């Protein structure tokens, strides 16, 4: 599963195992995971905003 995550290959993810691992987590571990995922999502949103700002005007290409 770690290789599938590193390669971002969701088709090879062992989803049943991942669900089982999450269900077995303690409350503090779940809070930490939720916090991490929220930060990751926020970073992704920020990156999308930066890319949108840096995008060249319509019709122009960057080589």
Domains in the chain: boundaries? 2-54
Q: Is the pLDDT of residue 38 over 70?
A: yes
| pTM of the predicted model as reported, rounded to 2 decimal places | 0.45
**Contact in structure between 4 and 12 (CB atoms under 8 Å):** yes
Q: Is the pLDDT of residue 36 over 80?
A: yes
Q: Is the pLDDT of residue 45 over 80?
A: no
SS3 7: coil
Identify the pLDDT of residue 9.
82
pLDDT one-digit tens code per residue, 46-58: 766 666 666 656 5
pLDDT one-digit tens code per residue, 16-30: 988 888 888 888 888
């Amino acid at each position: 599963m770690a290789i599938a995550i590193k390669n971002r290959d969701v088709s090879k993810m062992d989803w049943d195992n991942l669900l089982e691992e999450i269900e077995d987590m303690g409350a503090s571990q779940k809070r930490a995971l939720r916090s991490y995922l929220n930060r990751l999502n926020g970073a992704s949103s920020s990156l999308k905003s930066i890319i949108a700002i840096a995008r060249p005007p319509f019709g122009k290409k960057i080589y």
